Amino acid sequence: MADKITTRAENYSERYNDIVKVADLAENSDVRWCMVIKPYGYAIRENIRDVLDKMFKNTGHVNAYFPLFIPKSFFSKEASHVEWFAKECAIVTHYRLKNSPDSKWVIVDPEAKLEEELIVRPTSETIIRNSYKNRIHSYRDLPLLINQWANVVRWEMRTRMFLRTTEFLRQEWHTAHATEKEADDEARKMLDVYDDFVTNFMAISSVLGIKPEHEKFAGAVQTYTFEPMMQDGKALQAGTSHHLGQNFAKAFDVKFTNEKNELEYVYATSRGVSTRLIWWLIMAHSDDKGLVLPPALAPLHVVVVPIYKTEEELKQIKEYIQTLIERFDTTKLDFKGKYFKASINLRWKIDEDTNRSPGWKFNEYEAKGVPIRITVGLRDLEAWMVEVFKRESGEKSSVKLEEVDLHIDNYLYKEQNNLLRKNQAFREANTFVVDTYEDFKEKVEKWFVLAHRDGTLETADKIKEETSATIRCIPFDQPDEAGKCILTGKPSKKRVLFARSY
């Protein structure tokens, strides 16, 4: 710390890289296209995972673990049914190294060639579905609600930390059901669970809806999505929930005996979110001093910095700080969503490092988005007070020692809601209802637009070609209303959401 952060106005993309650097979240690794998630970045990932994991378990889902490698033949099987999957992936062809003839380096042993190549999982869809075949016999074995937390690999050439890297961490869900309705209900309900997390824990407000026919996941009957707005007005594909009907069961031959004693293909759903959520968290709330984090997910809520001149002063202040943190140890924070309540211990740290100045530390923790900084100097001891600084508003206040836990507690709830309100207000203020193609073109260059379209692929393609904007979703909350397509003038029954996206 603390390098300067490029402002939003200067270069939004550079700014992102600067924040990742100053907040010490991640760095490029020695392996091209892969990143190292540093401890502070990983702590955010753990908080996200822990909250989501409990939400999933609360809704009856269980975790399991499937192999990292997938035989190449599984992809052929899938390829013959659906032509969707990307072919850029890491391929294992050999299983042994050996010393070079002069023993100075290692080489791949040409004799250790695999009979069938193995693919490092780009998704576990094929291997999980295949295993379902052995597990599902009767309607009594359903539903099967399995989730996996794991690393996956897609050979991405244009990478960006957290947004798109060759290896990334994700959860993926592959469920099996006895009826079409049950599968559709699951896909729809789990979108709400994602949205609950995103809204109430990440403090980000999204537009929920259905993907239009041509933007659906290949092979899906229905793709449900939530669409947030980034600070630069763009959308991001952050999480989708698919009802797959019987398509995948047919590809993998997964049948069961239904209640009428007939053999039938199972109904499936799938979805997943990844470390991309961290990219999104950074893009949603940061300011020009660095990261801003919603308290529900912040690795640290409070940092305490002693301010002193002499060793003797430091000694006194340290004792005082001990009294302070006794109050922290019993402080529990409850963050609530629709589906889940998280009870979190107050996360705090005392920074007594004598090698860094208070000013250096202030910058450091502001860049890292720690919501509250407490400083303690000699004067505070005498007054039985501490100074509380709020990262996001920049507001400072003197607080009585015996009130400090309550003060922090109150502030963190307020701040959690405050961030959500700001995010929602920003999206709402920058979402425009337009009725002409001229207005459309002007607004969609920068913001979200609600407009009528005729529902054809041709129109969608033409609009995308001319404006770079795509239909993000058919929002649940848009009323039925008669209108005319902004491009062709043909009739439309409902406005859809357009935006450019990452």
Residues in contact with a copy of itself by CB under 8 A are 27, 29-31, 34-39, 42-43, 45-46, 62-76, 79-80, 87-99, 103-106, 108-109, 117-120, 127, 130-131, 134, 140, 146, 150-151, 153, 155, 167, 169, 353, 355
| 62 token code pair | 């269980």
Q: In this structure, are strands 341-345 and 332-336 parallel, antiparallel, or unpaired?
A: antiparallel
Nearer Cβ to a copy of itself (94/396): 94
Strand partners, 240: 225, 272
Nearer to a copy of itself, 88 or 395 (CB): 88
Name the residue among 335, 234, 355, 276 with its Cα closest to residue 44.
276
Judged on CB neighbours under 10 Å (0-12, 13-18, 19+), 359 is exposed
Nearer to a copy of itself, 310 or 355 (CB): 355
For 195, 295, 329, 337, the CA distances from 334, given in Å and listed in that order, are: 18, 11, 15, 10
Query: Which residue's CB is nearer to a copy of itself, number 142 or number 486?
Result: 142
Nearer to a copy of itself, 13 or 345 (CB): 345
CB of 280 to a copy of itself, least distance (A): 18
CB of 75 to a copy of itself, least distance (A): 5
Shortest Å, Cβ 154 to a copy of itself: 10
Nearer to a copy of itself, 255 or 446 (CB): 255
Q: Are strands 144-153 and 62-63 parallel, antiparallel or unpaired?
A: parallel
**Residue 186 or residue 380: which is nearer to a copy of itself going by CB?**
186
Choice between 160 and 446, CB closer to a copy of itself = 160
Q: How far is the CB of 52 from a copy of itself (least distance, A)?
A: 14
CB of 100 to a copy of itself, least distance (A): 8
Q: How far is the CB of 157 from a copy of itself (least distance, A)?
A: 9
Residue with the two structure tokens 């720690």: 370
Q: What length does the chain have?
A: 502
Is the bond leading into 228 cis (omega within 30 degrees of zero)? no
From the CB of residue 103, how many other CB atoms can be counted at a distance below 10 Å? 8
From the CB of 381, what's the least distance to a copy of itself, in Å?
A: 28
Asked if residues 136 and 142 have their Cβ atoms less than 8 Å apart, the reply is: yes
Backbone angle region of 388, left / alpha / beta, with phi > 0 → left and psi within -120 to 50 → alpha: beta
* Pair of tokens at residue 240: 């989708």
Structure tokens at 63: 């975790």
Residue closer to a copy of itself, measured from CB, 84 or 384: 84
Residue 358 has which token pair? 């208070």
Q: Which two tokens stand for residue 480?
A: 């039925």
Nearer to a copy of itself by Cβ, of 117 and 287: the residue is: 117
Q: SS3 for 267? A: strand
Q: Which is nearer to a copy of itself, 114 or 401 (CB)?
A: 114
- What's the min distance (Å) between Cβ of 155 and a copy of itself? 4
Give the angle subtended at the CA of 329 by the CAs of 325 and 330, to the nearest 5°: 125
Q: Taking Cα atoms as reference points, which of 474, 501, 495, 482 lies closest to residue 209? A: 474
Looking up tokens 């939530």 gives: 226
Question: CB of 76: closest distance to a copy of itself in angstroms?
Answer: 4
Residue 375 CA, chain-centre distance (Å), reads 33
Minimum CB–partner distance for residue 414 and a copy of itself (Å): 28
Shortest distance, CB of residue 160 to a copy of itself, whole angstroms? 16
Rounded Cα distance between 49 and 55, Å, is: 10
